[in-house]
Amino acid sequence: MLSRINAELLQSELQQLIEKYYPAVNTAGFRLSPVAGLTGESWKISSVAGNLLARHQSFDKQIAGANRRRESAILRHVARQKSGPCVRLYSPPWLIVDWIDGTPLTEQDFATPATRQALSRTLVNLHQLPPSGYRLNLQQQFALYWQHIDRRRLTPRWLRLHQKMISQTPPAPLKLALVHMDIHGGNVLNTPDGVRLIDWEYAANADIALELAAIVRGNGWSAQQQNLFIREYVNAGGYQDITLLQQQVNRWIPRVDYLMLMWFEVRWQQTGESQYSEWAHPLRP
C-alpha cells in the first residue's frame, strides 16, 4: 500500500498535471480519490466536466511488469473496438484515460454461462485485431522477477523449476494476437454498452492460448469450466480446431502457474502484505 506521504506527493503531482493539461477540468473543479486495486497508485479524477482515471508508473509497477507507455499505445490500438478506455493523455509517469462507468463482476457472476459467452465474444474480437508492436517475452519476465524475490524462500525444487522455465523453449503460438493477460471479475465491467475490459497494463502480443490459460488459472476454474469456456470461445468465432486449442492451453498452464507464483512473490517482497504470500503458497514447488 502507498504510504501517506507518497500518496500526498502523487496527489500534488497529479494536480499539477491537471492544471497544465486540463484547464476546463481545473476551472470546473475536481476531486481526486485513490482507486483500490492489487497494484494501487491509480486515481479517479471526479469533475462535472467528466470523470477520468489517472494511472501512475512507479518502479514497483515496472518490476511487476506494468508499462504505461505500452499500455497507452495498446489502448490507442484497440480504440475503435471500444473494448477498453480511451486514452486522454500520456505524460510520463502518468497515463490518463476515460473513467468507464460500469459494475465489476463478482466471482460468481464471472463464472456464469452468460458472462463466459460475452467474454468469449470480446476476446475473439480482441484477438482478431492486428498485433501491436509489443511482444510478451515470458522468459525475460521470469528473469526480471527472479531478481526481486526473497532468496530465503527458495528451495532446491524451485531452483530446478526456474532453470527449466528459463531454458525450455515456450510453445510455438497457434495464433499470435493482442492479449489482455489480466482478465478476472474485477477487470470486466458490465456497462450499458456491454462488457468492457479495464487495467490493460500487462497487455501485449502473445499466443491466444496463453490468454485462455491465464484466464483459466487466474480464476481457479475447474477442468470442466475450462472446457466449457474454450468451447464458447470457439463458438464465438475464435480458433476453430478445439482439440488443438485445448492441447495448447494445457501446454501453457505450467508457465502461467509460474508467472503467477513469481508475480505474487514479487508483490509480497514489495508490499509485505500477507495475501500475496498466501496466494503464492499453493503454487510453490
Q: At 271, which CATH number?
A: 3.90.1200.10
Q: Which of 44, 64, 98 is the last residue of a domain?
A: 98
Domain count, the chain: 2
Work out the average pLDDT over 175-201: 92
- Please count the CA atoms within 13 angstroms of the CA of 182 that sit on its side-chain side: 19
Res. 234 pLDDT band, cuts 50 70 90: very high
- 274 and 200 co-located in one domain: yes
- 142 and 226 co-located in one domain: yes
Range of the domain at 268: 103-283
Work out the average pLDDT over 195-222: 95
Q: Which of 83, 98, 113 is the last residue of a domain?
A: 98
Nearest to 39 by CA among 283, 255, 275: 275
- 217 and 257 co-located in one domain: yes
- 33 and 122 co-located in one domain: no
- 35 and 157 co-located in one domain: no
pLDDT digits (tens, 9 = 90+) for 113-134: 888 899 999 999 999 998 888 9
